[in-house]
Amino acid sequence: MSTRGPATVVTTATRVPPHRRAAKGSRSAVVASATRRGDGDDGRVDRAADVVVVVGRRTALGMGASALMSASPLAARAEDADPWEGSYVKPALTVPQYLDKIATSRGPAFEELRELTDQLKFSQLNNALVIAPFDDVRQSAYFLPWALVKLDEDAGVAAQRRWLDFRERLIQLDETSIDAGRREADETDVGRCVDRLEAALDELIAAVPTSSR
């Protein structure tokens, strides 16, 4: 019998199969799993010690994976509201590094979203929003303002407001693609949402001063 040492918490975002797609507003669409790894000689995950945290899909779409276990969703929408309300995030990378990750992933990410839209594969599009390559774009966009505010407070606040716009467009895309799967919207509606989402990403990037890039 092996002796278990201190547990390591590993956070993952679980892809949900199409047949388990949740209704709009459901809490079961995205799962964040805090998995405890034991130090047994086989090195495998100790599934008996798994701790699964179920969060709303909107919350998951609006946050970085590493923030799922600790931060609250950003709720401020008014221009005079505090855009950092309810959250504390410590970014792991620098502003240039987050911009590089966005630049590397955005092409394949938005190409995939548009291909799935053209092919009417709306359930797959929903899943694509929470896995790479789009998830790399989403997480980098989420953390970018937090990295920027350490260099330039005013620019960081402006970028965080643009993140909130991006987050809102992302939620709209998610909802519209769900509606399209129910034949309550069509591929044209979904395509417009994809375009608006990418435009919001451009505005977020534009909020970063040249001196901080």
> How many angstroms separate the first and last alpha carbons of the chain?
53
* The predicted structure's pLDDT at residue 59: 64
Beta bridge partners of 83: none
Q: Which CATH number is 8-212 given?
A: 1.20.120.290
Q: What is the pLDDT of residue 146?
A: 93
Token pair 């630049």: residue: 103
- Give the model confidence (pLDDT) of 176-199 as tens digits: 999 999 999 999 999 999 999 999
pLDDT computed for residue 90 by the predictor: 85
Residue 144: the pLDDT is 96
Extract the residue ranges of the chain whose pLDDT is less than 70.
Answer: 1-60, 62-88
Q: What is the DSSP string of 33-59?
A: EEEEE---TT--B-GGG-EEEEE-HHH
Structural contact between residues 98 and 111, judged by C-beta atoms closer than 8 angstroms = no
CA distance 19 to 152: 46
- Give the H/E segment covering residue 205: helix 187-206
Q: Give the whole-angstrom CA distance, residue 191 versus residue 187.
A: 6
Burial class (CB in 10 A: 0-12, 13-18, 19+), 153: exposed
In this structure, what token pair is assigned to residue 183? 């034949």
pLDDT tens-digit series, residues 76-109: 344 455 555 545 678 999 999 999 999 999 999 9
What secondary structure, in 3-state letters, does 111-163 show?
Answer: HHHHHHHHCCCHHHHHHHCCCCCHHHHHHHHHHHHHHHHCCCHHHHHHHHHHH
- DSSP assignment, residue 18? G
pLDDT score for 189: 98
The pLDDT assigned to 83 comes to 59
Residue 49 has a pLDDT of 38
Say which residue the tokens 């609006």 belong to.
62
Taking the CA atoms of residue 10, residue 16, residue 20 and residue 25 in that order, the dihedral angle to the nearest 10 degrees is 80
The amino acid present at 100, given as its one-letter code, is D
Instruction: Name the token pair of 159.
Output: 């970028």
Question: Could you identify the residue written with the tokens 């990418």?
Answer: 198
